[in-house]
Amino acid sequence: MDMTLTAEQDAVRKAVKEWVDDVVAPPALENDRRERFPQEALDGLKQTGFIGLSIPEEFGGGGGDPMSYVLYIEELGRGDANVRSIVSVHLGLVAGSIDRWGTQEQKEQWLPRMATGEVLGCFGLTEPDYGSNPADLQATAVKQADGGYVLNGNKIFITNGTIAGVTLFMARTGGEGARGVSAFLVPNDAEGFEAKPIHGKLGLRSCDTAELVLRDVKVGPEALLGGEEGKGIRVALTALNDGRMSLGASCTGLGQAALDTMVKYTKERVQFGKPVAGHQLVQALIADTAVEVDCARLLTYRVADLKTRGEDYSLAASKAKYYASEMSVRAANACVQAHGGYGYIDEYAAGKYLRDARVTTLYEGTSQIQQLIIGRALTGISAF
Ligand code: TGC
Ligand code: FAD
């Protein structure tokens, strides 16, 4: 272990690791081949209580601290990035936002059911024409005489979209730009709410990704997160600080899986009369990957540490996400390389790692967006 952990953090790490090795990792490749949703893993997340790990205990969750959460997500990422997506959207982006911004009534309405997994969350920010630039999004929320709202608009690429019970839905309540956007908690079974699955993804093939179409969906005033208009982009970007920390952890886990797989295979595969792991250039692949996985891990643990200490962790989260996502693609690619031709067929997990890693430089803010966030923070000049 790279850090000194509390007894509680260490217990979480060990329990999750064991469960991931037993339940999550074994069917992952077959689920990927069939585009099959990892239902056993989701059932297990509910049975073990892991599904509510970071929700406060007063709402029935595990009350896990940021470091426990990061260790948990890292292990899920090592076992199957599809399962990691379900959890980090549910907990990091949605439950975390309700806990941070919600009224007491909103917390009581949603968090206990999210803690058991009875209700899963999804995060509705991206629109077909507004991805990197969500401040200009076009979904609308029109206020009614009774204080409620009528929602209209499309969201694209929404993780958990067809399985969620609640969507954190960002929509324009008035005015242009970020200040005109508000955040709503919308039940997915509301009349006029449609979730259409998206198939044919390069990776994350067993994860639920959907387009959301809202047509005249009526919600009461209690659906406005925090009861205040105009905070939707701040809500979303604050959630994404946690999302980026999660992704740092997930990519570390995926990189670790690629490394472990590479080491195992190259010790077994013999060429030129010795295991390919005995060839110096193969050892270089392994060594470079090992160093990069450690770098990503330490960058991510720093985010959790800053969060625990109540300090601003947004810049550290962008750095961790940027580095870890790019690293995970390199690590998975090295894993394919070390497998030779066998890395190119789906008998081994190497190809799945590469396909699952590929999306991580795109979502939760692309690598270019992270570079601009980091550049803006260091120079004080915005390139947006
Ligand atoms: P900007 O003017 O900078 O800020 C608008 C308001 O937000 C506040 N803010 C932040 N608050 C907390 N944390 C941060 N990191 C924040 N950054 C900004 C800011 O103070 C301001 O508040 P206020 O009260 O003054 O209004 O906004 P901008 O429009 O210039 O933002 C620029 C940019 C590009 C950085 C931002 O739009 C961005 O990050 N774009 C990327 C979009 C993105 O990451 N989308 C991800 C969608 S979700 C997803 O991909 C889930 S993947 C699922 C899975 O993991 O499986
Ligand atoms: P664009 O913004 O159109 O970007 C296209 C290219 O232009 C990129 O290379 C980008 O880096 C570059 N670019 C854009 N602006 C700039 C700039 N200013 N400077 C330099 N380069 C720039 N969204 C959600 O809201 N919720 C989810 O649960 C969710 N899950 C997802 C799951 C999957 C599998 C995928 C693929 C996406 C998911 N997304 C989700 C959406 C994701 O966050 C967006 O795809 C991402 O933010 C990029 O937006 P875009 O696809 O519109 O690309």
Q: Please, which residues bridge with residue 142 across strands? A: 150
Q: In the prediction, which pLDDT does 3 show?
A: 78
Residue 382 Cβ contacting ligand 2 at under 6 Å: no
Q: Which ligand is nearest to the CA of 368?
A: 2
Do the beta carbons of residue 202 and residue 355 sit within 8 Å? yes
Catalytic positions, written as ranges: 364
Do the beta carbons of residue 111 and residue 181 sit within 8 Å? no
Do the beta carbons of residue 51 and residue 90 sit within 8 Å? yes
Average pLDDT over residues 351-380: 98
The residue to which tokens 């991931």 are assigned: 20
Distance from Cα 298 to the centre of ligand 1, integer Å: 24
Residue 368 Cβ contacting ligand 2 at under 6 Å: yes
Distance from Cα 64 to the centre of ligand 1, integer Å: 25
Residue 2 has pLDDT above 90, yes or no: no
Q: What is the pLDDT of residues 253-272, one digit of tens each?
A: 999 999 999 999 999 999 99
Angstrom distance (rounded) from CA 111 to CA 218: 22
Residue 94 Cβ contacting ligand 2 at under 6 Å: no
Count the Cβ atoms, other than its own, within 10 Å of residue 158.
24
Do the beta carbons of residue 226 and residue 101 sit within 8 Å? yes
Distance from Cα 132 to the centre of ligand 2, integer Å: 5
Q: What is the pLDDT of residues 188-201, one digit of tens each?
A: 999 999 999 999 99
Residue 7 has pLDDT above 80, yes or no: yes
pLDDT band at 203 (very low <50, low <70, confident <90, very high): very high
Distance from Cα 131 to the centre of ligand 2, integer Å: 5
Domains identified in the chain and CATH numbers: 7-116 (1.10.540.10), 121-230 (2.40.110.10), 234-379 (1.20.140.10)
Q: What is the pLDDT of residues 316-340, one digit of tens each?
A: 999 999 999 999 999 999 999 999 9
Q: In the prediction, which pLDDT does 1 show?
A: 56
List of residues 6+ apart from 299 with CB closer than 8 A: 248, 316, 319, 320, 323, 324
Pocket of ligand 1 (CB under 6 A): 85, 88-89, 123, 125-126, 132-135, 159, 178-179, 233-234, 237-238, 240-241, 243, 247, 314, 363-365, 369, 373, 384
Q: What is the pLDDT of residues 274-306, one digit of tens each?
A: 999 999 999 999 999 999 999 999 999 999 999
Residue 372 has pLDDT above 70, yes or no: yes
Q: In the prediction, which pLDDT does 130 show?
A: 98
Residue 345 has pLDDT above 70, yes or no: yes
pLDDT band at 367 (very low <50, low <70, confident <90, very high): very high
Three-state secondary structure readout of the chain: CCCCCCHHHHHHHHHHHHHHHHHHCCCHHHHHHHCCCCHHHHHHHHHHCHHHCCCCHHHCCCCCCHHHHHHHHHHHHHHCHHHHHHHHHHHHHHHHHHHHHCCHHHHHHHHHHHHHCCCCEEEECCECCECCCHHHCCCEEEECCCCCEEEEEEEEEEECCCCCCEEEEEEECCCCCHHHEEEEEEECCCCCEEEEECCCCCCCCCCCEEEEEEEEEEECHHHEHHHCCCCHHHHHHHHHHHHHHHHHHHHHHHHHHHHHHHHHHHHHCEECCEEHHHCHHHHHHHHHHHHHHHHHHHHHHHHHHHHHCCCCCHHHHHHHHHHHHHHHHHHHHHHHHHCHHHHHCCCCCHHHHHHHHHHHHCCCCCHHHHHHHHHHHHHCCCCC
Average pLDDT over residues 352-361: 98
Which atom from ligand 2 is nearest to the alpha carbon of 126?
A: 25
- CB burial class (10 A; 0-12, 13-18, 19+) of residue 223? buried
